[in-house]
Structure 1
Amino acid sequence: MSLIPLDTEHSDYEIISPIVNYIIGRVGNIDQLSLKIPPIFRQAVDEVIDAPRTNRFTIDELEKTEKTYLGTKVEILLRNLLKLPKGNILDLSIEGVEVDIKNTIGQNWTIPLESYNRPAILTKFDEKKAICSFGVIYIRPEYLNVGKNRDSKRSISITGKNNIWWILKDYPYSKNFWETIPESEINFIISSGKGTLRIATFFEKIQGVPISRQCIHDIAQQNDYMKRIRKNGGARDILNPKKIAILWGKKDRTLIAELGLPILKDDEFISYKAITNDAFIKLSKAGHL
C-alpha cells in the first residue's frame, strides 16, 4: 500500500508535508515514485552481494559491515534518483533543509544526536518477503526509546512509529531469485563445472521459470556470460540432446505463448523440456532442437 499520511491536525504535519510533496514531485507523481523507489533496494542488495565476483547469492551471506553498508548504498542511490545534494551535516539537503536518511533491514532505525529535531527519511526492506517501506518522520526526542547503544544512538519507540508519514508501506519489489531456491540446489549448480556447464546445469534444473540476465551473470561468473547460452559451444549444445531448449523473451515470444509458458520480458530467458511430440515439433521447427 502507499501514502499513509499524517493527520492534518498532527503537530508534525506542517513540517513533513512540504518534504513529502517535494520528494514525490522530484520523480513526477506517486505512481512514478512507486515504480522508481522499490528497484533501489534490489539494486543495492545485488551490488553489495556482487554474486559474479564473490560467489555469494543472498543477503544472509554478507558480512556484518556489508549489511551496515547497505544503508549507505540505499542513501547514495536515493540521492541520485532525487537529484539532490548532500547536506552539510546530514545525508540530504531539500531546498536548504537538512534531512537524514536512515535504513534498516530489521525492525527499527538507530538515530544519532545530530538528527534530533530534524526530518528524516526512513527506508526499510525485507529480502525474504521482498517488501519495502519508505517514509518521513520528524525526529523528536520523545519519539525515541530511552535506552542507547554504545554510540549513544536511540531507536524509535513503538508509539514514536505512529508519527511516520508513510509514502510507501510494505510495498513489493523484485525478489532475489536466489532466495526462491534451496541452497543445496545453488551449491549443486555452482559445483557442476565452469561457466558454460554451470549455465546448462542451471537451465536443466530450473525449468519453466523466467530467468534474468543478472541470474545468468551470477552463475557464469564471467564477463562474456551471454555467450555461454548460445549454440556452437554454449549451454544450448549441452541441453539440446536432452530435448531442453532455452527460449528468449525478445525473439521467441510467439513460441513461448504457444507452449503456454509465462510471459517474459525482452531480456529474460526460460528453459523448457519437450516432453510431448507436439512440443518437440514446435521447438524443432523454431530451430531450438
Structure 2
Amino acid sequence: MTLFEPPGPVSGVCDDPELMLVHQYLMKRDPDGARFARVLRDTIDQLLNGEATGRYDWATLFKTEKTHAGTLVEINLQREFEFGDGVDMDYRIEGVDVDCKYSQKFGSWMIPPEAEGHLCLLVWADDYQSRWSAGLLRIERRWLNGGTNRDMKFTVKAEHRNKITWLWKDAILPENVLLHLDPATRERILIPGKKKGQARVRELFRSIHGKRIGRGVVRTAAQQLDYMARVREGSKGRARPALRPEGIIILGDYQPHQAVARALGGPVPEEGEFVAHRVVRARPEHTGRPQAEIDGEFWVVAQPGDPVDTAPQLPEAQESRAKTYNV
C-alpha cells in the first residue's frame, strides 16, 4: 500500500514550540530512526513469541495480543529512550507531556478524550509492508472523528493527517524474513518433522543468502531457549560448523564480521542480525567481483555454477582482516 498523505509540517516550520522541542530531542537521539525501528521490530517479535509458538505472522495473534501491542510499544520505547513518566500523559520529554499511540493500521490511532490539548506521538508499523512511521500531533477536537466506540476514543480525520509533524515517514522496518518467504521455502525451513532446532536453523541459513536475518527469525526457527547456540560459528580448534563444508558462512553483528560483509559487497548485519552467503575462493574468472580476505585467502560470493569450496574460518571478535578488492 502506498501512503498518499501530504507531508506534515517539518522541522523549523511548525509554530508549536513544545512540539518542536520534543521533535528536536527525538531526532537528536535517533537521527536515522534506527533505534525506533529496532524497538518496533523487537516488539512485534515479542508479541509473536516465535521461540515458544513458532508464529511469524501478525494475523495469527489473538485479539487480546493485538490489543496489547500498543502498550508494549509504549513500554519498549520508554525503556529504549529512557523517557520520564508523564504527569497526565505517558511520557515526560523535555518537560512536555506526550501520549504514545500505536496502530498496525495506518491512521487508526485511538485518541482518548483526555489527550485533547496534549502532544501525541503517533506510531504505525506494518509487518506485511515492512514499513513504519512516527510523528507528533497536538490534539485538537476539531481534527478528530467522533468517538463512537465503547471507550469514546477518537481517530484523526484523514483530511487532517497532514497536520502531523513526521519524525520518520514510511521508513523501512527490518524485514520479518519468514513472513515474506515463498511458501515452499518457508515450509522447508519450518517443516514439523524437523524436531531439532539445529536442523531448522541450518535450513534457514542454507536457504536464505544475502539478506539481513533478525534474531526473531532465528528464534522462531530454533524454538529453543539457547537459540544463539544454533548459529554460533565454531571457534578455532572446535568442531567445524555443519554448513562450512557447503561453503556457507554466517556473518554476525560484530565488527570483524561486518567488515567481511562490506568487503563482499552485500548487506551488513546490524545489531541482532545475521547475513549468510555461499562463498568460493577468488579465481581469475571472478575479476570485478568484490572480494574479502578471510583467514589468509580471498573469497567472493558464489554465483550459480561456481564450485563448492569449504568455507573459511571467520575472524574472531577481536580480529578484523577483511579488505575490499575489485580486481
Query: For this structure pair, what is the TM-score category when the shorter chain's length is used for normalisation?
Result: 0.7 to 0.9
Q: Tell me the C-alpha RMSD between the 2 structures.
A: 3.6
SS at structure 1 position matched to 2:158: coil
Counterpart residue type for residue 76 of structure 1: I
Counterpart residue type for residue 177 of structure 1: V
Moved more, 143-152 or 210-219: 210-219
Find 2:247's aligned residue among 230, 245, 248.
Answer: 245
Find 2:27's aligned residue among 24, 29, 32.
Answer: 24
Which residue of structure 2 aligns with residue 48 of structure 1? 47
Which residue of structure 1 aligns with residue 266 of structure 2? 262
Find 1:279's aligned residue among 298, 307, 317.
Answer: 307
Cα distance in 1, alignment partners of residues 67 and 110 from structure 2: 12
Cα distance in 1, alignment partners of residues 98 and 147 from structure 2: 24
Contact 2:89–2:97 (Cα < 8 Å) also in 1: yes
Counterpart residue type for residue 310 of structure 2: S
Encode CA deviations 1:249-284: one digit per residue, 9 max, x unaligned: 2677898789x673543862425388888633xx23
Aligned residues: 275
Which residue of structure 2 aligns with residue 77 of structure 1? 76
1:104, CA displacement in angstroms?
Answer: 0.8
1:103, CA displacement in angstroms?
Answer: 0.9
User: Structure 1 residues 5 and 268, CA, compared in 2 at 3 Å: closer, same or farther?
Assistant: same
Which residue of structure 1 aligns with residue 205 of structure 2? 203
1:137, CA displacement in angstroms?
Answer: 0.7
1:94, CA displacement in angstroms?
Answer: 2.8
Contact 1:208–1:261 (Cα < 8 Å) also in 2: no
SS at structure 2 position matched to 1:72: helix
Contact 2:212–2:274 (Cα < 8 Å) also in 1: yes
Which residue of structure 1 aligns with residue 284 of structure 2? none
SS at structure 1 position matched to 2:87: coil
Which residue of structure 1 aligns with residue 162 of structure 2? 162
Counterpart residue type for residue 13 of structure 1: D
Cα distance in 2, alignment partners of residues 176 and 66 from structure 1: 18
Structure 1 segment 170-185 matched on structure 2, within 5 A: 170-185=170-185
User: Structure 1 residues 216 and 125, CA, compared in 2 at 3 Å: closer, same or farther?
Assistant: closer
Contact 2:126–2:132 (Cα < 8 Å) also in 1: yes
Structure 1 segment 120-199 matched on structure 2, within 5 A: 120-190=120-190, 191-193=192-194, 194-199=196-201
Contact 1:117–1:139 (Cα < 8 Å) also in 2: yes
Counterpart residue type for residue 16 of structure 2: Y
SS at structure 2 position matched to 1:88: coil
Counterpart residue type for residue 91 of structure 1: D
The TM-score with structure 2 as length reference comes to: 0.70
1:128, CA displacement in angstroms?
Answer: 1.6
Cα distance in 1, alignment partners of residues 112 and 136 from structure 2: 16
SS at structure 1 position matched to 2:23: helix
| Percent identity (aligned) | 25
Counterpart residue type for residue 230 of structure 2: R
Uncovered stretches (5+) of structure 1, i.e. residues with no partner: none
Contact 2:143–2:157 (Cα < 8 Å) also in 1: yes
Encode CA deviations 1:47-86: one digit per residue, 9 max, x unaligned: 1111111111122221122122221111112222332222
Cα distance in 2, alignment partners of residues 58 and 66 from structure 1: 13
Cα distance in 1, alignment partners of residues 78 and 279 from structure 2: 45
User: Structure 1 residues 134 and 244, CA, compared in 2 at 3 Å: closer, same or farther?
Assistant: same
Structure 1 segment 204-243 matched on structure 2, within 5 A: 204-229=206-231, 236-237=241-242
Cα distance in 2, alignment partners of residues 117 and 203 from structure 1: 51
Cα distance in 2, alignment partners of residues 279 and 171 from structure 1: 39
Structure 1 segment 108-123 matched on structure 2, within 5 A: 108-123=108-123
1:96, CA displacement in angstroms?
Answer: 4.2
Uncovered stretches (5+) of structure 2, i.e. residues with no partner: 1-6, 281-302, 315-327
Cα distance in 2, alignment partners of residues 55 and 77 from structure 1: 22
Pair 1:98-2:101 in alignment: no
Contact 1:87–1:98 (Cα < 8 Å) also in 2: yes
Cα distance in 1, alignment partners of residues 257 and 120 from structure 2: 47
The TM-score with structure 1 as length reference comes to: 0.78
Contact 1:130–1:175 (Cα < 8 Å) also in 2: yes
Cα distance in 1, alignment partners of residues 214 and 11 from structure 2: 42
1:166, CA displacement in angstroms?
Answer: 1.0
Cα distance in 2, alignment partners of residues 145 and 84 from structure 1: 29
SS at structure 1 position matched to 2:249: strand
1:192, CA displacement in angstroms?
Answer: 3.5
User: Structure 1 residues 180 and 89, CA, compared in 2 at 3 Å: closer, same or farther?
Assistant: same
